[in-house]
Amino acid sequence: MYFVATIGLLAMSFWLIVFRFTGKAESNWPLIFWGTAAAHVQTFESLNPYIVWFGAIAALFLRFEFMGRAFVRIFIFLELPALCYIGWTCLRIIML
């Protein structure tokens, strides 16, 4: 079960990196990903919870529709390191 959940989280993180540059910032799909990542942290404890929660908070800030395009880009680039960390860690777990 651990490896299946990790592979799913890896696939979702790669998908979300692409989605952040092609999709709408107000979509609910990234919040579902961050909920899944938080559940993975609580269940398996293989990811750093501070980085996961930082990415989730950055994704929540993207839900504010009154922000200008520059602020949206700032929060997208704040979220990207957390996404890359999750993807890299999940890939490392699977390869070991």
Residues 14-64: pLDDT tens digits? 999 999 999 887 888 999 999 999 999 999 988 999 999 999 999 998 887
Residues 6+ apart with CB under 8 A from 29: 16, 19, 23
Q: Does residue 20 contact residue 76 with C-beta atoms inside 8 Å?
A: yes
- The position carrying tokens 């750093």 is 48
Supply the pTM of this predicted model.
Answer: 0.89
Which domain, by its residues, includes 10? 2-95
How many domains does the chain divide into? Answer: 1
